[in-house]
Amino acid sequence: MSVEEEFEKTWKSASETQDTMDDLTDRKIWTGIEAKIEKKNSVKKFYWAAAVLVPFFAFFIVFKTASQTSANGAERKYVYETSASRKSFELPDGSKVELNPYSRLVLDKDFDKKDRKMVFTGQGRFNVAKDKKRPFRINAGEFDVQVLGTQFFLDQKSAQKKVELFEGKVKIAHGSTITYLLPEEIWINDAQRKDYHYYHPEKQKHFTFDHSAYSEAVDQLENTYNISISYPSQFRNKKVSGAFTGNLNEVLSVISFPFNLKPEKINDKEIILK
């Protein structure tokens, strides 16, 4: 059995239980994710997970920094905080973060030694410097995020918590549930504290329909990409058959073509077919 096949088997087994997995299983999945990522040589596209609001007039960025003087006299920042506007920072390990307004990042006093730990509140995009020996660990209140070298968006502030991965790999620990993300995958924890694992609308996925009702095919796309799709009710029981590979818009366009329906994006959470 190949490394990738073993990884797929371990991942599937782990996803079927809500119990905390043993360290050996955890390491197998972590290694499997890394192998799958390194196997891809194509250029990845990055998608921003949050809209940028551009104010008509400037605000001063107010951020507090707690510092400690090292042996050579250099000051080191441990607290990064924004007020009314977003701000970019570079951490001591070379990682870069862009914090949305009213967000706060506090580094552990031993950051960049054996580990890279921190506490985060708010919203921000992280571009983590690669370092396999020192994992990048974020305490985000109700859940923890662990990465090595990656780019992702983290929303700890909203009622619906969110981690959206653009590059690399991410491990999320929420209670006894462990979730692993690959590029263009999204983890969400809703107001009822339920965990969901979705895909970015640009993520290529394979769908097979065997004389399925059009409503069932649309439901599957909604559940895969966490988006609401509206269409005229007279098409609910129309039949869809075939195997399709593509992103959300591509697959939706193909299965809707026989009914002369075209998708129109209303916002990031809603599509209407006309």
Residues 48 and 168 reside in one and the same domain: yes
- Asked whether residue 7 is domain-assigned, the answer is no
Question: Quick check: 179 and 169 in contact, CB under 8 A?
Answer: no
Question: Quick check: 159 and 142 in contact, CB under 8 A?
Answer: no
Residues 189 and 236 reside in one and the same domain: no
Dig out the tokens for 72 from the structure.
């050579």
**Structural domain harbouring 269:** 205-273
In this structure, which long-range contacts are made by residues 114-122, counting pairs with CB atoms below 8 Å and at least 24 apart in sequence? Answer: 120/154, 120/156, 121/156, 121/157, 122/82, 122/156, 122/157
pTM: 0.64
- Asked whether residue 21 is domain-assigned, the answer is no
d(CA 265, CA 274): 11
pLDDT band (50, 70, 90) for residue 20:
very low
Tens of pLDDT along 55-76? 333 333 333 444 444 444 445 6
Dig out the tokens for 48 from the structure.
């921003």
Residues 183 and 83 reside in one and the same domain: yes
Residues 148 and 246 reside in one and the same domain: no
Tens of pLDDT along 164-218? 999 998 999 998 889 999 899 999 998 676 888 899 999 999 999 999 999 999 9
Number of domains in the chain: 2
Question: Quick check: 134 and 147 in contact, CB under 8 A?
Answer: no
Residues 105 and 238 reside in one and the same domain: no
Residues 130 and 213 reside in one and the same domain: no
CATH of the domain at 242: 3.55.50.30
CATH of the domain at 150: 2.60.120.1440
Question: Quick check: 232 and 260 in contact, CB under 8 A?
Answer: no
The edge-to-edge listing of strands for the beta sheet with 104-107 is 79-81, 104-107, 116-121, 136-139, 144-147, 170-174, 177-181
Residues 168 and 255 reside in one and the same domain: no
What is the DSSP secondary structure assignment for residue 270, as one 8-state letter?
E
d(CA 67, CA 61): 18
- Asked whether residue 4 is domain-assigned, the answer is no
- Asked whether residue 37 is domain-assigned, the answer is no
Residues 89 and 209 reside in one and the same domain: no
